[in-house]
Structure 1
Amino acid sequence: MDNPYNISSVLVVRRFNLAPETAFAAFLFATLSYMIILFSNLVLILTIVLNKSLHQPMYLILLNLPINDLIGSSALFPRLIKDILTNSSTMTYSVCVAQAFFIHIYGGGTVFILSAMAYDRYIAICCPLKYNTVMTNAHIMRIITYAWMSSLVVIGVLFVLLLRLPRCRSELTHPYCDNPSLLSLVCADTTINNIYGLVMVALTQIIANGMILYTYLQILVACFRSKRSDTKSKALQTCATHLAVFLLLECLGLFTIISYRIKSISPHLRRFIGVSTLIFPPTFNPIIYGLKTKEIRDKILDFLRNKILPS
C-alpha cells in the first residue's frame, strides 16, 4: 500500500466480450480480413516493384501507401486473432506500447503519404511541362523521406512523453492499444501529453487538409480549363479516388480521436469505429489504387494471365 503505482507488466484488455457461439465467427472474420489485406497490398507492392514501367514518381509515392497499410493492419490483426483463438484478455505492457506505436505510425503515415500523392498530382496536372524537371528521383526520395520522418518524429515524441509517466492502472477498455488508452492507465499529470497531442493533431490536419484542398482546387480549375475531354475525365477520376480515401480516413480517425473526449459516446461504437480505421482503408486502398488505375490493373492482369492462368 506504500506504493500506489502499478508496476505489473501485464494488462487486462476489454475487447468485445464475445460469447462462445460468436467467437468462431469473429475469428473467421478477422482472419479473412487480414488475409485479404495482406494479399491485396502485397500484390500492389510487388506489381510496382517488379515492373520497371511503373517506376515513375506517381507509383513510387503510391508504393508507400500499401507498405503503411501493412504496418497498421499487422499491428492489430495477429494479436487480435490470437486473443480470439485463445480467449485471452491479457497483454504485456511492452507489447501494448509497441502495438500503439505502430498503429499511430500508420495513422500519421497515411496522412503524410496522401498529402505527398496530392502534391504529385498537382504538379502533373497543373504544371505538366515542368513535371519531369520537378519530380526527379532525388526530389521523390526527399518527399518520401519527409513523409516517413515526419510521422516517426511526431509519434516518437508522443511516446517519449507517455513512457516518462508512472502507471497505477492495468485495465484497458479499448480493443487495441493506442496513446489515449495508455494514458488512461497513468496516475500523474498528463497536461503536457494532452497539449502536445492536440497541437500535433491540429497541425497535421491543417497542413494536410490545407495542402489537399489547395491542390485539388487547382486541379479542378485546370481540368475545367482544359479542352481535352480525356485529360479532364482522367484527372477528375484521380482526384475523386484520392479524395474518397482521404475522407474515409479523416472521418474514421477524427471520430476515434473525438470519441475519447466525449464520455457519452457508446463504448461499443467507439470500439467499432476504432477497429474500422484499421480495416477499411487497408482493404479499399489496393482496390481503389490498383483496380482503378489502368497501368497497374493491366500489369496485374498480365501477371495473372501469364503466371497464374497460363494458356
Structure 2
Amino acid sequence: MGGNSSIPSNMLEIEGFEISPEFKYPLFFLLLFVYSTLLFSNIGVLILILKEKSLHQPMYFLFCNLSVNDLIGNTVLLPQLMAHVLSTKRFVTYNQCLFQAFHSHTFGSASHIILVFMAVDRYVAICNPLRYSTIMTNKTVIGLSATAWGVSILLVSVLLGLTVRLSRCRSVIRNAFCDNPSLFKLSCEDVSINNFYGLFFTVLVFTFSIGGIAATYIRIALICWIKKNKELNNKALQTCASHLVLYLIMLWTGFLTIILHRFPNYPDLRKIAYILFHVVPANLNPIIYGLQTRSLRD
C-alpha cells in the first residue's frame, strides 16, 4: 500500500461518466424513468403470478426467478449510478464496491442459467406434454431455481475471492460501477490467475447457456416439424419466440460488454453497454413475456 497513504485504504473513487452539466438532469431522469418502469413491471408480474392461482405453473415460477434477479441486479446498480450522475464526488468503500460487483456478476450468470432452465421447461411441455406434470413438479422447479442461484453464487464467490486476496496500489475504479475486472485492476500484482478464471467463468456460462438453448430449441423444432401438428406448432412458436427474443437480447448486450473490456480506448461505450445489459432485458422481460403469454396478458 506504499504510495497510497493519503487516501483511506478502504475508500475508492469511481470514475463514472464525463457528463456535461446540461445533460446531468436529463440523464438522471432517464435513469430514474428506466428504473421506475423496471420496478413497476417486474413487481407487477411477480404479484400477478403469486396472486393468480391459474398462473401457479412451473413456467411462471421459473419466470419469477428472472424478475427477482432483474430487481436485485438493477437495484444494486442504478440508484448508486443515479447519485453519481448528479454528484462530482463519487466515492465508495471497498466493501460496497465488492458487494455491487458480487450482485452484478451473480445477476449476469443467474440470468443465463434461468433462461436455459426455462428452455428445458418449454422442451418438456412441447415434446413430452403427457408427462409434463410428472416431470416438472414443484420440487423440480425449486431444485432448478436453487441450482441456478447456487451455481451462480459459487462461481462468483471464487471469482471475487481471487480478487480480494490481491493488494491494492490504485484507488480509482475505471468504470461507472464496480465489477470484477475494475477491482482486480486496482492491484499492481500479477493478475493472470484472475484473468484466467474470469475467462473460464465467462466461457463456462456462455457455453452452458448457448449449448443448452441450442440443444433444446433444435429438438423442439424437429418435433414440431415431424409432428406437423398446427395447434402444437403455434403454441410452441408463441412461447418459444418470446423466450428466444429475451435470450438473444441478453446474449448480445452481454457479449458487447465482454468485447468492449478488451478495447480500453472506448471506456464510455463499455460502461453504457454494461448498463444496457442490466437495464434492457429487465425492462423487456415482463413486457415480452406478458404480451406473448395469453394467461399473463389477460
Report the TM-score range of the alignment, normalised by the length of the smaller protein.
Answer: over 0.9
1:223 and 1:236 in contact (8 A); partners too:
no
Deviation at 1:89, TM superposition (A): 2.1
Within 5 Å, give how 1:62-141 maps onto structure 2.
62-141=63-142
1:223 and 1:232 in contact (8 A); partners too:
yes
2:269 paired residue number: 269
Query: Is the aligned partner of 1:291 residue 2:285?
Result: no
Give the % identical residues: 41
In the aligned structure 2, how far is the partner of 1:131 from the partner of 1:112?
21
- Residue aligned with 1:91, SS: strand
| Deviation per residue, 1:156-196 (Å, 9 max, x gap) | 11111111111110112211110011111111111211111
Deviation at 1:237, TM superposition (A): 2.1
In the aligned structure 2, how far is the partner of 1:191 from the partner of 1:4?
23
2:15 and 2:173 in contact (8 A); partners too:
yes
Deviation at 1:236, TM superposition (A): 1.2
Within 5 Å, give how 1:1-311 maps onto structure 2.
3-4=2-3, 8-264=9-265, 266-298=266-298
Deviation at 1:261, TM superposition (A): 2.1
**Unpaired segments ≥5 residues, structure 1:** 299-311
| Deviation per residue, 1:59-90 (Å, 9 max, x gap) | 11111010000011101111112222334322
- Residue aligned with 1:277, SS: helix
Deviation at 1:4, TM superposition (A): 4.3
2:62 and 2:141 in contact (8 A); partners too:
yes
- Residue aligned with 1:79, SS: helix
1:112 and 1:208 in contact (8 A); partners too:
yes
| Deviation per residue, 1:95-118 (Å, 9 max, x gap) | 111111111111011001001100
- Residue aligned with 1:262, SS: coil
In the aligned structure 2, how far is the partner of 1:210 from the partner of 1:237?
22
Letter in 1 for 2:295: E
In the aligned structure 2, how far is the partner of 1:268 from the partner of 1:160?
27
| 13-22 or 2-11, larger mean C-alpha shift | 2-11
| Deviation per residue, 1:31-63 (Å, 9 max, x gap) | 111000000000011011111211111111111
In the aligned structure 2, how far is the partner of 1:271 from the partner of 1:227?
46
- Residue aligned with 1:17, SS: coil
- Residue aligned with 2:95, SS: helix
1:5 and 1:166 in contact (8 A); partners too:
no
In the aligned structure 2, how far is the partner of 1:198 from the partner of 1:124?
35
In the aligned structure 1, how far is the partner of 2:102 from the partner of 2:204?
19
Letter in 2 for 1:271: K
Letter in 2 for 1:55: H
Letter in 2 for 1:267: P
Q: CA RMSD in A?
A: 1.5
1:220 and 1:236 in contact (8 A); partners too:
no
Q: TM-score, normalised by structure 2?
A: 0.95
Letter in 1 for 2:165: R
| 71-80 or 81-90, larger mean C-alpha shift | 81-90
1:304 paired residue number: none
2:260 and 2:269 in contact (8 A); partners too:
no
In the aligned structure 2, how far is the partner of 1:250 from the partner of 1:262?
19
| 234-243 or 159-168, larger mean C-alpha shift | 234-243
In the aligned structure 1, how far is the partner of 2:18 from the partner of 2:81?
13
Q: TM-score, normalised by structure 1?
A: 0.91
Deviation at 1:148, TM superposition (A): 0.8
